[in-house]
Amino acid sequence: MSQQEVVQPKSILRGHSTQVHVTTFIRRNERLASGDADGFVVLWDLTIMRPRGVWRAHTGAILGISGWGDDKVVTEGRDNRLIVWKIAAEDEAKLSTDLPLDESAPERPQPWILHILEINTMNFCSFAQCSPRQDVDLAASDESLIAVPNTLATEAAQVDIFHLPSQNRLSTVHLGSKTEKKGMVMALSLFWRRESLILLTGYENGLAIVARRRHGGAWDILYKYQAHSQPILSLDFAPDKECFLTSAADAIIAKHPIPDANSSTPPVPGFKRTEESETMRDSNTSTSGSETQPRGLPKNDSAVAAEPLKIINTKHSGQQGLQIRSDGRIFATAGWDSKVRVYSAKTMTELAVLKWHDVGCYAAAFSVLDVGQKHVFDNSQDKPGKSQTEEQTTALNNAIVTRYKETAMATTSKPGELSVKDRRIKMAKEAHWLAAGSKDGKISLWDIY
pLDDT in tens, 30-47: 899 999 999 999 999 999
Q: Which of 124-128, 270-274, 422-426 holds the top average pLDDT?
A: 124-128
169-175: average pLDDT:
91
Where in the chain are the domains?
18-369
Q: Residues 6 or more apart from 50 whose CB is under 8 A from it?
A: 44, 97
Share of the chain above pLDDT 70, in %: 76
Q: What is the pTM of this model?
A: 0.81
pLDDT in tens, 350-382: 999 999 999 999 999 999 986 444 443 343 434
Share of the chain above pLDDT 90, in %: 61
**What is the CA angle 375-447-25, rounded to 5?**
95
What length does the chain have?
A: 449
Q: Which of the two residues, 185 and 281, has the higher pLDDT score?
A: 185
CA distances from 20 to 84, 192, 296, 361 (A): 20, 30, 36, 8
Measured CA to CA, the distance from residue 251 to residue 149 in angstroms comes to 25
- According to the 3-state scheme, what is the secondary structure of 221-236? EEEEEECCCCCEEEEE
**DSSP of 357-371, one letter per residue?**
-SS-EEEEEEPPPPT
Kindly give the pairing relationship between strand 207-213 and strand 196-203. Answer: antiparallel
Residue 276: what pLDDT?
Answer: 27
Residue 410: what pLDDT?
Answer: 47
**DSSP of 9-43, one letter per residue?**
-SEEEE--SS-EEEEEEETTTTEEEEEETTSEEEE
Q: Which of 347-361, 386-400, 428-442 holds the top average pLDDT?
A: 347-361
- 83 neighbors 72 (Cβ within 8 angstroms): no
Q: With a cut of 80, say whether residue 151 has pLDDT above it.
A: no
Measured CA to CA, the distance from residue 295 to residue 317 in angstroms comes to 19
Measured CA to CA, the distance from residue 174 to residue 188 in angstroms comes to 14
Q: With a cut of 60, say whether residue 158 has pLDDT above it.
A: yes
**DSSP of 77-142, one letter per residue?**
ETTTEEEEEE--GGGGGGSB---TT-TTSPPPPPPEEEEEEE---TT-PPPEEE-SSTTS-GGG-S
- Provide the 3-class DSSP secondary structure of residue 380: helix
Q: With a cut of 90, say whether residue 215 has pLDDT above it.
A: no
The rounded Cα 282 to chain-centroid distance in angstroms is: 31
- Provide the 3-class DSSP secondary structure of residue 397: helix
Lowest mean pLDDT among 63-77, 148-162, 219-233, 391-405: 391-405
Q: How many CB atoms lie within 10 A of CB 4?
A: 7
Q: How confident is the model at residue 383 (pLDDT cuts 50, 70, 90)?
A: very low
Beta-strand ranges (E) seen in 271-405 are 271-273, 280-282, 310-313, 319-324, 330-335, 339-344, 350-355, 361-366
241-260: average pLDDT:
96
323-335: average pLDDT:
96
Measured CA to CA, the distance from residue 217 to residue 171 in angstroms comes to 8
- 155 neighbors 200 (Cβ within 8 angstroms): no
5-9: average pLDDT:
69
pLDDT in tens, 177-195: 776 788 899 999 999 998 8
Q: With a cut of 70, say whether residue 391 has pLDDT above it.
A: no
Q: With a cut of 50, say whether residue 296 has pLDDT above it.
A: no
Q: Which of the two residues, 331 and 408, has the higher pLDDT score?
A: 331
Q: How confident is the model at residue 388 (pLDDT cuts 50, 70, 90)?
A: very low
The rounded Cα 162 to chain-centroid distance in angstroms is: 21
Looking at the DSSP bridge assignments, the partners of residue 193 are: 196
Q: What is the rounded average pLDDT for all residues in the chain?
A: 82
CA distances from 12 to 19, 48, 325 (A): 14, 12, 21
Name the burial class of residue 441, with classes exposed (0-12), middle (13-18) and buried (19+) by CB atoms within 10 angstroms of its CB: buried
Domain 18-369 falls in which CATH fold? Methylamine Dehydrogenase; Chain H (2.130.10)
Measured CA to CA, the distance from residue 144 to residue 332 in angstroms comes to 27
pLDDT in tens, 117-136: 999 888 889 999 999 988 88
